[in-house]
Amino acid sequence: MMKFVPWQHIADWKCNGCGDCCKLYTVVLNFHEWLKIVKSYGVEQTVSGLNELYIKRRSDGTCAFLHHFSNVCACELQYAKPRACQIWPFKILTEPKFGFAREALYPLGKDNLFVYADSMCSGLRYGVPTWEFANNILKEFVEISIGIRQHQLKSTADFGLPVRSFCGNLSFPRYP
């Protein structure tokens, strides 16, 4: 069962490249995200449900765009990641859906947002939020969620190389 933790109980977050987010969850796409993936990778990399569009999953249940490199996983969609993938493990909401409103409160200008983290993420470190987490990392997740930021810097795995050169120069095999 998923448990969501208010952001003020999280000291820090860093993607460790475990790939669990790409193994445990199905990604729902909006039409623009679906179109972007279809244009670049083909319609066969997506699946349609009754009212929703999804990223295709392999027979082992993993996302079609997840790739394993020795001891880390990486996403082939670095510059075309759906928003749900970009902001995972965080949920940024306009209402305190998971309780603990005071601890989840994230003031943004005149608005109040409520931010929670999915406790399934092994990159979370619990405790009092560090300055870096509260003012840079979480801010980036919020900005991506509300659509004022496009590119990820701190809200994705850092393999020590620019993401474009790390993933952009690799030839990924296509899996059926």
Check residue 52 and report its DSSP letter.
Answer: -
Which string of DSSP letters, residue by residue, matches 153-168? SSSS---SS-HHHHHH
More confident of the two residues 22 and 167: 22
Quick check: is 176 in a domain?
Answer: no
**Where residue 175 falls among pLDDT bands split at 50, 70, 90?**
very low
Quick check: is 170 in a domain?
Answer: no
Can you give the pTM of this predicted structure? 0.84
pLDDT tens sequence across 97-113 = 999 999 999 999 999 99
Quick check: is 15 in a domain?
Answer: yes
Quick check: is 104 in a domain?
Answer: yes
Domain count, the chain: 1
Can you give the pLDDT at residue 150?
82
